[in-house]
Structure 1
Amino acid sequence: MNEAQTKHDLIEPALRKAGWDIVEGSRLRLEFPITKGRLIGQNRRATTLFADYVLEYKNRRIGIVEAKKRDEYYTQGLGQAKDYAERKKASR
């Protein structure tokens, strides 16, 4: 099962079952931009980073979920999610 299938079949249903985008004040943001990409000169930027899911409650970002394909170990995206969370925290 690839990453897109994992998101569709497993992650999104679990997040919705937990109340995301259903409970008042909660939002589930998909493919949320984390950075615009650093400036590399001549009015160009490096690649933008996107989190698979950002969890918001009452307009506050409180969590990041990074999806990986089902066959990868469940902690595979942990470092990436932590990096994204730190970047969002620093950009406030």
Structure 2
Amino acid sequence: LRSKNMLKNHALAMSIADVGWRTFLGMLAYKAELYHRQFLTVDPKNTTQACHECGFVMGTAGTEKLTLADREWTCPKCHAHHDRDHNAAQNILTKGIIKLA
């Protein structure tokens, strides 16, 4: 999550700023170490815009980027239907696995 971008949303800004994302990440790192787990961060770039099946990125090849209102979409290349959040989670998992290798 990019807190800087999320702070631009006036409905969320106060809550996000109060949480203190740096502190939260520090707590996650501490708990991971405590339970002998690995904690790493990945670049969130295109995690919601890229198809996790074929890698096509919305906003390229004459397609429009997804907006926040687009909760489901179909990849124009492989025709896979995606729930935006599930697709992003799959992309984040893949990026994490690649980063560990």
- TM-score in terms of structure 1 length: 0.34
Q: Which has the higher contact order (CA 8 A, sep 6+)?
A: 1
Point out the structure with the larger helix share.
Answer: 2
Tell me which structure has the larger Cα radius of gyration: 2
